[in-house]
Amino acid sequence: MTHHSTPDVEDYDIIIVGTGSGNTIPGPINEDKKIAIVEKGTFGGTCINVGCIPTKMFVHTADVARSFQDAERLSITGELRDVDWKGIQQRVFGDRIDPIAEGGAAYRAGEETPNITLFHGEAAAFVAPRTLRIGDGPVIRGKDIVLATGGRPRVHPVIAESGVRYRTNEDIMRLDKLPESLIILGGGIVAVEFAGIFSALGTKVTLINRSDKLLRTTDQDVSETFTELAQEQWTNLLGYTLTAARETEDGNVEVTLHDGSTVAAQEVLVALGRVNNSDTLNVEAGGVEITDRGTIKVDEYGRTTAEGVWALGDAANEFELKHVANHEAKVVAHNLSHPNDLKKYNHEAIPSGIFTHPQIGTVGMTEREARETGRPLTIKVQRYADVAYGWAMEDSTGFCKVIADRSTGEILGAHVLGPEASTLIQCFVTAMTFGIHARDFAEKQYWPHPALTELVENALLGLEFD
């Protein structure tokens, strides 16, 4: 269908909404195309500005701070004398993150990418098929539109209605000073990562969670062990719901729990998961359908229910992982340029790293999910303490759990809790992706002794096959 341009509608070959992974789509493959990029928030999206990258810089700092407390076990005496909060922020944001966001926006708006027009600081919403209004202003139309709109923090209704001040992942790292006390609402990944950061830096952390477990969607052994270990690092109020919140005369925020008890702290961090930004797009006008969960409905190629409209990343999947969004962006970039040779999204063996203390890495099925398949299983739990480097580290709590099919040798899932877990999990991703029998994977290659990868080797060797 051809559009006859009218003076008040600007036509583009490709319109990209969102500059997280969406910003990776323009490149040599489509430099002959006229492209519009729309970003209502900070250029670069969640991961680089308020998610993975800055949080891991804080996490690493927290891990070093925590190592002072740990030193005594290793016959070393040390102490953490000072946490220069402003210095940490300058290193993370001033020296690194903010210049990247500013540079990215300047690059897309500048002369080096003459085929690209950047609409920054304004939201986009459909007014007709393949047609978007930018804020209150211009209307643009695309042969293809890519929705890479991500999500935003979910706010607890009691907090929202009470009008108290609160923080999310979007501003907690930019507080003027390190809070003496912090309430964290939630028990998922964002909650436990920030609990790990702030408790290590000396903040008195109280985490309040509706479930009686932390990280309850992870494997049961991981969830139960982590819940126990977390209790030694900060205060957990598990199985509690929030009924009220107010600001006190001394400037703290006080929350009331369902049993009538109260907790007060200088700051409250809301970490209760994410809301999909699809509700900002006026999708009906564009013919784009949404799933029950609020994600944009896509097929295996990334196409939405509207012709010429694609979606990727947190906007369209339930994984909420940057590496998945980046993969999908590559697929969509290919499909835009090769309409007769479409590639599919690959959602097999997707790993996840949780950068709390201890670290967690996970891929594939939990034990419960594996049992539900009815397949014959073999399961091995290998402790860090029983391999050489774990022994050297004096690690007494970490483990690697691997789940495989007893008859075929297929690895179905793996879960690591302990130092470098997010790195160690990659061994399992490789075996699962290439379909290598667990026994072959363990026996037909070298594992450097006494490196930590022996944890993986020994876990695999402990599996029993028919």
Domain boundaries, the chain: 9-47+93-150+277-337, 154-273, 351-462
Residue 118 has pLDDT above 70, yes or no: yes
Helix, strand and coil content of the chain, in percent to the nearest 5, comes to 35, 25, 40
- Give me the mean pLDDT over the 126-133 stretch: 98
Interior/surface letters 344-379, b for 16+ CB within 10 angstroms, e for the rest:
ebeeebbbbbbbbbbbbbbbbbbbeebeeeebebbb
pLDDT digits (tens, 9 = 90+) for 211-220: 999 999 999 9
Give the list of residues 6+ apart from residue 190 with CB closer than 8 angstroms, or none.
Answer: 169, 271, 273
Helices (H), 279-414: 283-286, 322-337, 367-372, 388-392
User: Residue 185: in which H helix or E strand, if any?
Assistant: strand 181-185
Distances (CA, A) of 250 to 160, 246, 253, 350: 21, 12, 9, 47
Q: Please state the pTM of the whole predicted model.
A: 0.96
Query: 459, 419, 451: which is closest to 63 by C-alpha?
Result: 419
CA 284 to chain centre: 28
Residue 4 has pLDDT above 80, yes or no: no
pLDDT of amino acid 435 = 98
Positive or negative, the CA dihedral 228, 230, 234, 240 is: negative
Alpha-carbon gap, residue 271 to 354, rounded angstroms = 14
- Give me the mean pLDDT over the 52-63 stretch: 98
Contact (Cβ atoms closer than 8 angstroms) between residue 314 and residue 276 = yes
Q: Which residues are part of a known binding site for NAD(+)?
A: 186-193, 273
Q: Which CATH number fits domain 154-273: 3.40.50.11260, 3.20.20.100, 3.50.50.60, 3.40.50.740?
A: 3.50.50.60
Confidence of residue 88 (pLDDT cuts 50, 70, 90): very high
Give the list of residues 6+ apart from residue 307 with CB closer than 8 angstroms, or none.
Answer: 129, 130, 287
pLDDT of amino acid 298 = 98
Hey, which residues does 185 pair with through a beta bridge? Answer: 208, 270
Residue 7 has pLDDT above 60, yes or no: no
Q: Which residues are part of a known binding site for FAD?
A: 56, 314
The rounded mean pLDDT for the chain is: 97
Active centre residues (catalytic): 449
Contact (Cβ atoms closer than 8 angstroms) between residue 132 and residue 15 = yes
pLDDT digits (tens, 9 = 90+) for 148-177: 999 999 999 999 999 999 999 999 999 999
Give the list of residues 6+ apart from residue 276 with CB closer than 8 angstroms, or none.
Answer: 151, 293, 294, 295, 296, 314, 315
Alpha-carbon gap, residue 73 to 11, rounded angstroms = 66
User: Residue 457: in which H helix or E strand, if any?
Assistant: helix 454-461
User: Residue 131: in which H helix or E strand, if any?
Assistant: strand 131-134
pLDDT digits (tens, 9 = 90+) for 261-289: 999 999 999 999 999 999 999 999 999 99
Contact (Cβ atoms closer than 8 angstroms) between residue 331 and residue 301 = yes
- Give me the mean pLDDT over the 364-368 stretch: 98
Confidence of residue 8 (pLDDT cuts 50, 70, 90): confident
- Give me the mean pLDDT over the 69-86 stretch: 92
- Give me the mean pLDDT over the 390-411 stretch: 98
CB-count burial class (<10 Å; 0-12, 13-18, 19+) for 72: exposed
How many other C-beta atoms lie within 10 A of the C-beta of residue 387?
Answer: 25
| Residue 158 token pair | 């009691």
Contact (Cβ atoms closer than 8 angstroms) between residue 382 and residue 235 = no
pLDDT of amino acid 6 = 52
Are 154-273 and 351-462 in the same CATH fold? no
pLDDT of amino acid 69 = 87
| Residue 362 token pair | 């996970």
pLDDT of amino acid 170 = 98
Query: 236, 238, 242: which is closest to 260 by C-alpha?
Result: 242
Confidence of residue 70 (pLDDT cuts 50, 70, 90): confident
pLDDT digits (tens, 9 = 90+) for 450-466: 999 999 999 999 999 99
CATH 1.10.3370.10 given to domain 351-462: no
Give the list of residues 6+ apart from residue 193 with CB closer than 8 angstroms, or none.
Answer: 55, 59, 354, 355, 356
pLDDT digits (tens, 9 = 90+) for 310-346: 999 999 999 999 999 999 999 999 999 999 999 999 9
Q: What kind of architecture, by CATH, is found in domain 9-47+93-150+277-337?
A: 3-Layer(bba) Sandwich (3.50)
Contact (Cβ atoms closer than 8 angstroms) between residue 110 and residue 122 = no
User: Residue 144: in which H helix or E strand, if any?
Assistant: strand 139-147
pLDDT of amino acid 344 = 98
- Give me the mean pLDDT over the 130-158 stretch: 97
- Give me the mean pLDDT over the 100-120 stretch: 96
Give the list of residues 6+ apart from residue 245 with CB closer than 8 angstroms, or none.
Answer: 158, 159, 162, 164, 253, 254, 255, 256, 268
Alpha-carbon gap, residue 384 to 464, rounded angstroms = 20
Helix axes 454-461, 421-433, angle to 10 degrees: 50
Query: 207, 226, 354, 327: which is closest to 272 by C-alpha?
Result: 207
- Give me the mean pLDDT over the 223-248 stretch: 98
Percent of the chain with pLDDT over 90: 97
Give the list of residues 6+ apart from residue 451 with CB closer than 8 angstroms, or none.
Answer: 389
Alpha-carbon gap, residue 334 to 277, rounded angstroms = 25
Q: Which residues are part of a known binding site?
A: 56, 186-193, 273, 314
Between strands 151-153 and 274-276, the pairing is antiparallel
